[in-house]
Amino acid sequence: MTTYRTVSIDGLDIFYREAGSRDNPTILLLHGFPTSSHMFRNLIPALADKFHLVAPDYPGYGNSSMPTVNEFDYTFDNLAEIVEKFIAAINLKKYSLYVMDYGAPIGYRIAAKYPERVQSLIVQNGNAYEEGLREFWEPIKAYWHERSPENAEKLKYLFTLEATKWQYTNGVRNLEAISPDTWTVDQHFLDRPGNEEIQLALFYSYGTNPPLYPQWQEYFRQYQPPTLIVWGKNDYIFPADGAYPYQRDLKNVEFHLLDTGHFALEEDGDVIADHIHHFLSTHVVESTKLTTSNK
């Protein structure tokens, strides 16, 4: 059974979903923009028989607190710090990281800082390479270069219902397989007063991520976490160009391009769950048993 909990971190209520026995290997699920832990609502019960799953909402997203931009500095450094403190608050010692979209720069900050805690990576449309930032990113890059009202205005369409629906439907095989609950729920949270300013702050802060790519790539090369790539190849935001380079730096990588879009779990959730079951059973469960038996 999935439980719905809240923990206080630095005075903020951080909501999270949790399922599965803590005796099993943990998967920490880090969501993207503009969604929340809601994106994992089907994956969690699909894996809870063999794994312990935890999926938090970041500040400003989903059911977590939404302080204004004057009350909280919305940067990727700060989101990573909140997630780091969340990990400590609920006493996670070791875990696999499932990173998607915004979850990648948040998760990789934590993984590079605490490599000994990370048992494996599951990467779904989460970028760590310059090759992955293509046409979609040009107006956002302009905003990094000049944080002007004019450049901000060019990004505000991304907070509209039309754009949110597009994120879920662009590149999918079968539109009838995509629940309208997805964009309806996300849009509800995006439309809250003050949330537009939060999203613009994070669009600007995303510019701090590419300079860290070499550091994250060095983490991949040095620590070689077993990595499962499950990537919607028709994604316009994070195209497959950003998936291939992981194979340069990681030796133990299982690579799957899926014929779907940005939110690959919506159309290929069962496929991804099967890949995770097989991958973690081999690379985390068995290795944990072997380590335990050798003690």
- The token pair that represents 279 in the structure block: 């991958």
Looking at the structure of the chain, the number of domains it has is: 1
Query: In this predicted model, what pLDDT tens digit does every residue of 85-106 receive, in sequence order?
Result: 999 999 999 999 999 999 999 9
What is the number of residues in the chain? Answer: 295
Q: Write phi, then psi, for 140 (nearest 5 degrees).
A: -75, -40
Q: How far is CA 222 from the centre of its chain?
A: 22
Give the Cα separation of 96 and 119 in Å (integer): 5
Residue 295 confidence (pLDDT) above 60: no
Residue 289's pLDDT is what?
59
- Full residue range of the structural domain in which residue 147 is found: 2-293
Reported as a pLDDT band with limits 50, 70 and 90, residue 184 is very high
Per residue in 98-112, is it b (16+ CB within 10 Å) or e — as a string?
bbbbbbbbbbbbbbb
The CATH number assigned to the domain holding 88 equals 3.40.50.1820
Residue range 185-207: average pLDDT? 98
Q: What is the pLDDT of residue 285?
A: 79
Q: Cα(26)–Cα(220) distance, rounded to whole angstroms?
A: 20
Residue 130: both structure tokens together: 């310059």
Tokens 């505000």, located at residue: 156
Instruction: Output the pLDDT for position 292.
Output: 45
Q: Residue 108 CA to chain centroid, in angstroms?
A: 10
Annotation says 262 is catalytic: yes
Per-residue pLDDT of 109-144, as tens digits, reads 999 999 999 999 999 999 999 999 999 999 999 999
Q: What span, in angstroms and rounded, lies between the C-alpha atoms of 166 and 183?
A: 9
> With 80 as the cut, is the pLDDT of residue 28 above it?
yes
Cβ atoms within 10 Å, residue 254: 17
Catalytic residue, candidates 31, 38, 52, 262: 262
Calculate mean pLDDT across residues 62-67.
Answer: 98
CB 85 within 8 A of CB 98: no
Confidence class for position 174, pLDDT limits 50, 70, 90: very high
Instruction: Report the Cα 193 to chain-centroid distance in Å.
Output: 24
What backbone phi and psi angles, to 5 degrees, belong to 125?
A: 55, 50
- 200 Cβ contact list (under 8 Å, min separation 6): 152, 155, 156
pLDDT over threshold 50, residue 293: no
Q: The pTM is what?
A: 0.96
Confidence band, pLDDT 50/70/90 cuts, at residue 290: low
Cis, peptide link before residue 193, omega less than 30° from 0: no
Residue 115 near residue 215 (C-beta atoms within 8 A):
no
pLDDT, residue 287, reads 65
Query: Torsions phi, psi of 59, nearest 5?
Result: -55, 135
